[in-house]
Amino acid sequence: MADAAGRDPGLQPERTRLAWRRTTLSCAVTAVLAGRQVALRGGGLLAAVALALVTLAFLLFLRLAHRRIQLLDGSPSPSTMPPRSAAAVAACTMSLALCGAVLLW
Amino acid sequence: MSAFAQRLPARLRAARDSVRLWFAPARVQREGATPDYRFSLANERTFLAWIRTALALIGGGFAIDQFLTDHLARWVRAALALALLVGGVACTLRAVNHWVRCERAMRRGADLPVSRFPALLAVTVAVIAVAMVCVVLFGWA
């Protein structure tokens, strides 16, 4: 179906939606590995804080992906990803890495 | 004056522009004309693919520390895991930077930015892989 400018979106929004799903799955796998790291390392305040941060990062990612998928579904000519979403996704990924670095100790 | 020194001011300007874009990425949307959304979506998928690469590197860091306990000494595991985590962070930063720069280039109708990051990442991963093969084969460390 063509939009006002005569462009056919084809499967582009669908492919982008699936890319968000794949990335969410990758994030889930990494978060589970991070949780396992905490479980192996044992308790302590640091571990609890790290676990909370990992959970928070995953939930934030889930929310971002969900909102973006809804946006892609709803509109005939989808808007560009907001730069703040890109920054938030990067923040999630980097906090997972940070937890990893802290838990190695 | 060498060619590098002649290009230095332009390079510095470009670096300053990138850093300013990181901290105020919304400025991208005020430049030029909005490109065909299909191109923006493709750019977004590339960004997500780099994020997945970063997540895989970070997950690999966790996996090395958790699953190679029989093969590797504690410090080797920690060093490798840390290298992979740092690689993951580098990939993430590069993903955002490249996405912003591509988006800006498309808005301005300019050429897409080129980068040596993929080659550097490939070499790093290859070196780590060969090191791991040696460690596991010969039982070093």
* pLDDT tens profile B81-113: 999 999 999 999 999 999 999 988 888 888 888
Which residue among B45, B86, B89 sits closest to A19, beta carbon to beta carbon?
Answer: B45
Please check whether residue B100 lies inside any domain of the structure.
Answer: yes
Greatest mean pLDDT among A61-65, B23-27, B125-129: A61-65
Residue numbers in B near A26 (CB within 8 A): 51-52, 55-56, 59
Residue of B nearest to A40 (CA): B66
Q: Which two tokens stand for residue B50?
A: 């780099």
Contact: B65, A29; criterion CB under 8 Å: no
Please check whether residue B128 lies inside any domain of the structure.
Answer: yes
Range of the domain at B89: 35-138
Q: What is the mean pLDDT of the segment spanning B10-17? A: 78
Give me the interface pTM, i.e. the ipTM.
Answer: 0.89
DSSP for residue B112: P
Contact: A40, B66; criterion CB under 8 Å: yes
Please check whether residue A32 lies inside any domain of the structure.
Answer: yes
B71 alpha-carbon distance from chain centroid: 29
Angle, helix B74-108 to helix B3-23, in steps of 10 degrees: 90
Please check whether residue A96 lies inside any domain of the structure.
Answer: yes
Q: How far is A75 from B21, CA to CA, in rounded Å?
A: 28
DSSP for residue A37: H
Question: Could you tell me if B128 and B56 are in contact, meaning their C-beta atoms sit under 8 angstroms apart?
Answer: no
Please check whether residue A43 lies inside any domain of the structure.
Answer: yes
Question: Could you tell me if B66 and A37 are in contact, meaning their C-beta atoms sit under 8 angstroms apart?
Answer: yes
Please check whether residue B13 lies inside any domain of the structure.
Answer: no
Range of the domain at A94: 12-103
B141 pLDDT more than 60: no
Please check whether residue A1 lies inside any domain of the structure.
Answer: no
The helix (run of H) or strand (run of E) holding residue B84 is: helix B74-108
Q: How far is B110 from B123, CA to CA, in rounded Å?
A: 29
Please check whether residue A4 lies inside any domain of the structure.
Answer: no
Q: What is the mean pLDDT of the segment spanning A2-13? A: 70
Residue B83 to chain A, least CA–CA distance (Å): 10
Work out how many domains chain B is built from and give that number. Answer: 1
3-state DSSP of A38-103: HHHHCCCHHHHHHHHHHHHHHHHHHHHHHHHHHHHHHCCCCCCCCHHHHHHHHHHHHHHHHHHHHH
Please check whether residue A5 lies inside any domain of the structure.
Answer: no
Work out how many domains chain A is built from and give that number. Answer: 1
Which residue has 């504690």 as its token pair? Answer: B74
Please check whether residue A82 lies inside any domain of the structure.
Answer: yes
Please check whether residue A7 lies inside any domain of the structure.
Answer: no
